[in-house]
Amino acid sequence: MIRRFVFGQPIETGAVVQDIPVCAGEPEYMTVTETEEAIILSRTMAEDDIVYGLGEQVRGINKRGFSYISNASDDPVHTEEKHSLYGAHNFMILAGDSNFGLFVDDPGKVVFDAGETQIDTLTITAGKNCVIYFIDGDDLKEIVHQFRGLIGRSYIAPKWAFGYQQSRWGYECEDDVRRVVRGHHDNGIPLEAVYMDIDYMEDFKDFTIDGDKFPDFPAFVEEMKQQHVHLVPIIDAGVKIEKDYPVYEEGVRNDYFCKDEEGNDFVAAVWPGRVHFPDVLNSEARKWFGNKYQWLIDQGIDGFWNDMNEPAIFYSDKRLKEAMDEIISMKGMNLDIHSFFHLKDIVRELSNSAEDYASFYHDMDGVRVRHADVHNLYGYNMTKAAGEAFDRIAPDRRILMFSRSSYIGMHRYGGIWTGDNNAWWSQLLLSIQQMPALNMCGILYTGSDIGGFGGDTTEDLLLRWLEFGIFTPLMRNHAAIGTREQEVYQFTHLDNFRNIIRIRYGLLPYIYSEYMKAALKDEMYFRPLAFDYPQDKQAAGVEDQLLVGESLMIAPVYKQNAKGRYVYLPEDMLMVRMSAMDNRSCEVMEKGHYYIEIALNELVFFVRKNHVLPLARLGDSVLTTADLEESSYEWLGYVTDQAEYELYTDDGISKDYIPEEQWKIYSFTAEDFADNFSLQNID
């Protein structure tokens, strides 16, 4: 059951799609204190209570012991002391003797102190105008299922976007992209998409293409299409202020930009220098900005990523001037411990400042709202602008869309990537731990920058990361300009990379089916072990293994030079070890704790008892999903009794997910898998 409590006069955020009647009285799970400025919920936690959720945040699967602040932040250093990343995902479950879910629908800053200040106390501080939902349920999956029903169906990406994708800030021109495609395809490495980072634009202007770098863009898109490679351009939130640039001129003419205190278009600076922010919280401006994507779609583009939409601000004109004046006044001074560090702070604090976020305004269809009060809605609405436009422009086909910043509800319009991580082993673990929390919030199309965005990756880190990335719906290698080139073909043991990426294509029938089931049935694709083994106290403490779909458990290696790892099996499972699609061994293992050796070039995963999964039959020449044969599968199974599997297939592009022939149930018995856990011969 879902109960809704309303405090003050909340802003309509668009997070939920169900109309739940307002509940009078107090929510029984938490004590509510109303102050002039805030709604404070608190509760004592029992020793074994676990806090799950909160989406894109640092630290573990169990969020206890730290504070998390929903305050969309452009921060490229995702270390454990950080309280905010790019998204604001105010949904959590407190799991213990009784379980309940809680969603704070407040687009401003919300603090979840999950036992940082007082180890046994959960305290949530929201703004005085908010809606809070409590969800009852004994079963964790059921609570998530109800929440997902409340917030609506998850975005579904085109099937090609489940293939392997390559990105780098710094692919400048056509030839750079061609080199990347050749580097993969000539080496037999599948590649589905190449990303176009800000380098493709003319002076970092949205909806422009630099004609020197891409002289005939539609022809180039077509050339890539012939090889089944998709080009995915980035779109940034800020619109460059430049005379005669049509997007700027139209925005000014129609009052589509956010306003400052005096009612002028608010000036901030990002990549191109000074920009205005489209007021995507205004329905007309949103429609206008969304329609701009058409210009690229008309040239053959079918996927985008929305960036810098917290929105990131390098500086505002006003504060830059103040800072400059102060710095100039320090010229010639003997800078001591205080003044020198103050000087550094002046520059550091110029970016993404709370003062700037409090100094501009949205016109929410007639209501003037201070940005700071709705800060967490910007990325959501930029992506909604695109999503709504896609429905108008190409109603019958899927277009790839994912965003950096997000709020609950954005999952209906696109996925997210987890932003600017680093080429550190700890970030691989973080990425594993973020996935189930994102899935709880309906964000299913997601993944991290494989190999790490900042810093120089190493061959072993990239390979281990890919061995996890095989399972993330978004499987994209992306790196920052100036870092070591990290396309897989740059490394010594190319075979290893080829084999691992090919395994992703082998697993695609399963990954795609499980994704579709999770999206269409409001389920989680990645789950912590405790969600499926609620009675198992040991499963509750596992922080580095995940269930993937209905049949698999994974236990990725995330430590450098580790030759294997400890794994907990919550039931008897089949361990599958693969170093290539045609190099596989299987072993039944009983419930319990193990140290399992896993060589650098090996993928190990576990099939649950009485479960199976379909594998695509891969010819040598599979380079994209277009080469996958969909008519027959090999089945891998651990069946001691019987098993059923619901396989979903479709054309990968249209939006009709209902037809019966796309959903097939296969039944199996123990005898089917007598031969090395594999069944070759059913169509």
Residues that bind ligand GLC (CB under 6 A): 169, 197-198, 234, 307, 404, 419-420
Measured from the CB atom, is 111 or 198 closer to ligand GLC?
A: 198
Structure-block tokens of residue 15: 């997070």
Measured from the CB atom, is 428 or 647 closer to ligand GLC?
A: 428
368 contacts: CB under 8 Å, gap ≥ 6: 361, 362
Cα dihedral angle (453, 424, 376, 655), rounded to 10 degrees? 60
Min CB(427)–ligand GLC separation in Å: 14
Min CB(420)–ligand GLC separation in Å: 5
Measured from the CB atom, is 105 or 307 closer to ligand GLC?
A: 307
Min CB(112)–ligand GLC separation in Å: 24
Measured from the CB atom, is 214 or 668 closer to ligand GLC?
A: 214
Report the distance separating Cα 613 and Cα 259, nearest Å. 54
* Residue ranges with strand state E in 446-560: 446-447, 449-450, 475-477, 526-527, 546-548, 552-554
Measured from the CB atom, is 476 or 609 closer to ligand GLC?
A: 476
DSSP letter at 163 equals: S
Contact status, residue 509 vs residue 190, Cβ threshold 8 Å: no
Min CB(404)–ligand GLC separation in Å: 5
Q: Which residue has the tokens 């987890």?
A: 418
Phi and psi torsions of 584, nearest 5°: -140, 145
* Residue ranges with strand state E in 390-478: 400-403, 406-407, 415-417, 446-447, 449-450, 475-477
Structure-block tokens of residue 331: 């010229």
Contact status, residue 513 vs residue 648, Cβ threshold 8 Å: yes
Measured from the CB atom, is 62 or 421 closer to ligand GLC?
A: 421
Min CB(389)–ligand GLC separation in Å: 21
Q: What are the b/e assignments for 328-344, b being 16+ CB within 10 Å?
A: eeeeeeeeeeeeeeebe
Min CB(446)–ligand GLC separation in Å: 14
Measured from the CB atom, is 269 or 540 closer to ligand GLC?
A: 269
Report the distance separating Cα 647 and Cα 664, nearest Å. 5
494 contacts: CB under 8 Å, gap ≥ 6: 187, 189, 488
Measured from the CB atom, is 236 or 356 closer to ligand GLC?
A: 236
Report the distance separating Cα 428 and Cα 462, nearest Å. 10
Residue type for position 255: D
Comparing every residue's Cβ against ligand GLC, the nearest one is 169
Min CB(169)–ligand GLC separation in Å: 4
Measured from the CB atom, is 109 or 404 closer to ligand GLC?
A: 404
**Distance, CA of 332 to chain centre:** 48
Min CB(177)–ligand GLC separation in Å: 15
Instruction: Indicate left, alpha or beta for 199 from its phi (over 0: left) and psi (-120 to 50: alpha).
Output: alpha
Min CB(307)–ligand GLC separation in Å: 5
